[in-house]
Amino acid sequence: MSAVVTTSCPDLELIARGKVRDLYRVDANSLLFVATDRISAFDVIMNNGITNKGKLLTEISIFWFSFLKDVLPNHLITANFDEMPDKVKQYRGQLEGRSMLVKSLRVLPIESIVRGYITGSAWSEYKKKGTVCDIALPTGMQESEAFPEPLWTPSTKAEIGDHDENIHPSKAAAIIGEKHAAEMEKISIELYTKARDYAKEHGIIIADTKFEFGVDENDTLYLIDEVLTPDSSRFWPASSYKVGAGQDSFDKQYLRNYLDSIGFDKSTGITLPEDVVSKTMTKYQEAYKLLTGKEPQI
């Protein structure tokens, strides 16, 4: 079986192809989110995909949508392919297991990032300036240390090929309005905290994650897109966690590390070696099994 790196559904209106997802309009009220097997790193899409990654990401998102629905409603209508409209079902071979029928909402153009631990670009900035997204932090923090409280560090949503830009939380209000910015910050930290506590009990530290939100015609906020997947989060094994160094991970940090090791130019996609593809998928499967207690159905 080969990776599904792009979908072709002529009877559905293609709205967009993102770094991982293909998005189709089904009717006036609903969209189809399709998780392909594309993988990106440093905002660059690689030439080859990871077979069945999209199906696994979909299963993880469905798990978290259910777990977090008491904190905030989400956009999921169904992921059961037998419940999809007929014009979607005709593409069963391409789409089954990797598709979610979702409410059509107005997307708020902010990536809502919550950081529980200092790592990655946050650690790099802190070493230089003692801040993260220009938020002042206590002196003397060590790499991978937990923040005193989770930080909300939003970023702008970039077009494909561009890079998301981290911004100070105060700047989010200028983009989406004060009401939505305040609500997004509060809800994002609530979502992260509930997921963090659950994951820690199941052997995973969620170091940071990215949420996305949309609003309906009544201005009601919904959780949308993917949720707490290895593509949108840093997952660390709790068993080997140690402050003061980088961590092993269940996410695409393995891929990023490989790309750094070969001097990747962070602008042009490459074809990944088979062992890198295989090891990346294995890490995603390990995360799914720890979180859900189940074997992936792929």
pLDDT in tens, 38-79: 999 988 999 999 999 999 999 999 999 999 999 999 999 999
Distance from C-alpha of 239 to C-alpha of 278, rounded to nearest angstrom? 23
Over residues 144-148, mean pLDDT:
97
**DSSP classification of residue 271:** P
Q: What is the pLDDT of residues 105-121, one digit of tens each?
A: 999 999 999 999 999 99
| Per-residue confidence band for 159, with pLDDT thresholds at 50, 70 and 90 | low
pLDDT score of 160 more than 60: no
Strand partners, 74: 223
One-letter identity of residue 285: Q
Q: Which distant-in-sequence residues (6+ apart) come within 8 Å of 265 by Cβ?
A: none
CA proximity to 270, closest of 73, 45, 116, 115: 45
Percent over 90 (pLDDT), the chain? 90
Is residue 292 within a helix (H) or strand (E), and if so which, with residue range?
helix 274-292
CB 212 within 8 A of CB 111: yes
Q: Beta strand pairing status for 110-117 and 146-152?
A: antiparallel
Distance from C-alpha of 226 to C-alpha of 18, rounded to nearest angstrom? 12
SS (H, E, C) 83-98: HCCHHHHCCHHHHCCC
Q: Please, what is the end-to-end C-alpha distance for the chain in angstroms?
A: 11
Q: What is the pLDDT of residues 30-42, one digit of tens each?
A: 999 999 999 999 8
Q: Which distant-in-sequence residues (6+ apart) come within 8 Å of 225 by Cβ?
A: 21, 33, 211, 212, 232
What does the angle CA 115 – CA 121 – CA 126 come to, to the nearest 5 degrees?
85
Radius of gyration of the CA atoms of the chain, in A = 19
Distance from C-alpha of 172 to C-alpha of 160, rounded to nearest angstrom? 21
pLDDT of residue 148: 95
Q: In terms of C-beta density within 10 A (0-12 exposed, 13-18 middle, 19 or more buried), how is residue 81 classed?
A: middle
Residue with tokens 């939100």, as numbered in its chain: 213
pTM: 0.93
Q: What is the DSSP string of 158-177?
A: PPTTS---B--HHHHHHHH-
Distance from C-alpha of 35 to C-alpha of 95, rounded to nearest angstrom? 9
pLDDT of residue 161: 53
Distance from C-alpha of 242 to C-alpha of 233, rounded to nearest angstrom? 19
**DSSP classification of residue 108:** P
Residue 226's CB: how many other CB atoms inside 10 A? 23
